[in-house]
Amino acid sequence: MNNDRHPATNDPIGTATNSDLRAELLTFAQQTLPTPMIPSRIVVLSELPKLPNGKVDRNNLRARPDLASIDTVEFVPPTTDDELRVAEIWRSVLGVDAVGLTDSVFDLGGDSLAIAKIVACVRDSYGRSPTLRDLYDRPSLGEFVTTLTRDGRDSFSTGNPRSVSPEAMEADAVLPDDVRAHNPYVTPTNGHAHILLTGATGYTGAYLAYELLQRSQARLSALVRAPTPEAATARVRTNLEQFGLWNPRWQDRIEGIPGDLARPYLGLDRRTYTRLAEQTEMIVHNGALSNYALPYTQLKAANVLGTLEVLRLAANTRTKPVHFISSLAVFPGEAGSPRFNETKLEVARGVLGGYRQSKWVAERLVSEAHTRGIPTNVYRPGLIAGAQRSGACSTDTFLNAITKGCIQIRSALDFDVTLEVAPVDFCAEVVAHVALSDHTCGQYFHIPGTQTLRWTQYVEHLRRYGYTLEDTAYPDWVSKLREALGDGQDNELARFLPLFGDDQPAPDLGYAGSTPIFDTTNLEAAIAGTDIERLDVDGVLIGRYLDHFIATGFLPAPKATQ
């Protein structure tokens, strides 16, 4: 943009170009970032402010630009009685001077507590009963008011706003023609010398890195979001250390690669991309955004397009096998006890929720790549839980969030759903063993728990451990959670509020009344004769997880043991 005070008047061509650029950047942000992180305004400058040494003057960038000199999204004032009444509630709760119809509650600084307060105020003073999901799903003032004033329930409240249609899923599951093996895969004669791992800074990634390093002499490259290779390597090491998995002898065998699954060519420069394409002999693709509260459109960049870029790298120069970490969540919800075999996915209909759909589409891309000459294996773990031996658990999972959330309000969620709990170290052992054996390709492996655990059984384990959890009907449980958040109380479930409707949880979290049966023929054959052991997910193992959470401060100790 030029330096004139009125660019819209003096430089119409430049203004149009800037507008197009901002629109493209905003679209990218909406597809990539969680809603609260999407910028409300994008400013295009002719040049960045510089210090005398030529570096960017970051302090100068922090100053709020003169909005009069930029063409911005037009402020649309509220005009109807409904719009004015709700706008006043927003203005009061958020502490802002004015609220326009196109303003998003997140752009105005709203967080989960502010949203809970807005909904409570609307209920008290407006006479309507919106849900927290209504505001999460329709975050602009105009959309929210429309939801309130429309006769009956809004279609987005009764549907699944995080989902896309089965037709859209199938369209995204078509692999581009250029992604295919151009050379036959050649099995390394002396074992794998170079492995690429994605998602190495996550919980499952830490155990995958450990098993791959422990079971081979390979050099491990890890794709990590970081500014430098040194910072990327440090993140991998720190992640291993926090779970007690680090071995100093691995220092020279780990290479952090700054990159990003959500960007074309994994965010790599040409030289790094070419080097990885030439030297990598196997890829373990574990990286993904694992957030049940985000819609498919926001998960697509990392989970779907990221998988596409991994497959593209696998086909570049030398053909490399890809071991893809999927999920048992890719199957449709069905009443009764449907049986799911260890075979290729076929049916998109019935798979609801952004995370579930993104894994379904990504897995279908992997299956298609196998038919084009890229060796692949797919692993479908259940709900990944703590390590069997140490009890070390990640706090960043929905199961652990719902555990803490229920303990915080001393009330048990009433939800007739089954849990397939799979210890993280067992999952990693299976993947590493199969991948490094290099004998099996084109197969699918289910990795559930040793037995299905019902949510009600899990709650009883929590009670036997010492936690007080009242039996509460679902509508009362939701009201209790909302009231706690509205009163400013901390609760681990705040970020998952869109998943709890007035009458029942969203299907993203599981299908009530369904008790699926997962075939494990391939899994059992793969680990037969090995020392890979899978412990029962019983009171002893769950107690080990709870011990870890109390020791690390994630959970309070039960009052009886304090």
Domain boundaries, the chain: 7-69, 81-159, 168-382+421-452+516-524, 391-419+453-514+531-562
pLDDT in tens, 56-76: 665 555 444 443 333 445 678
What CATH number should be reported for the domain whose range is 81-159?
A: 1.10.1200.10
CA neighbor of 428 nearest in space, from 307, 288, 325: 325
Backbone angles phi, psi at 29, to 5 degrees: -65, -40
| CA–CA gap between residue 481 and residue 474 (Å, rounded) | 11
Is residue 299 within 8 Å of 291, Cβ to Cβ? yes
Residue 300 pLDDT? 93
Going by C-beta distance under 8 Å and a sequence separation of 6 or more, which residues neighbour residue 176?
308
Going by C-beta distance under 8 Å and a sequence separation of 6 or more, which residues neighbour residue 231?
256, 258
pLDDT-above-90 percentage for the chain: 56
| CA–CA gap between residue 273 and residue 254 (Å, rounded) | 17
> Distance from CA of residue 30 to its chain's centroid?
15
Length of the chain: 562
Least confident of 127-141, 204-218, 304-318: 127-141
Q: Residue 330 CB: number of other CB atoms within 10 A?
A: 22
Is residue 137 within 8 Å of 498, Cβ to Cβ? yes
Taking the alpha carbons at both ends of the chain, their separation in whole angstroms is: 63
| CA–CA gap between residue 344 and residue 534 (Å, rounded) | 25
pLDDT in tens, 400-437: 999 999 999 999 999 888 999 999 999 999 999 999 99
Residue 176 pLDDT? 93
What CATH number should be reported for the domain whose range is 168-382+421-452+516-524?
A: 3.40.50.720
Q: Residue 129 CB: number of other CB atoms within 10 A?
A: 11
pTM passes above 0.85: no
Q: How confident is the model at residue 54 (pLDDT cuts 50, 70, 90)?
A: low
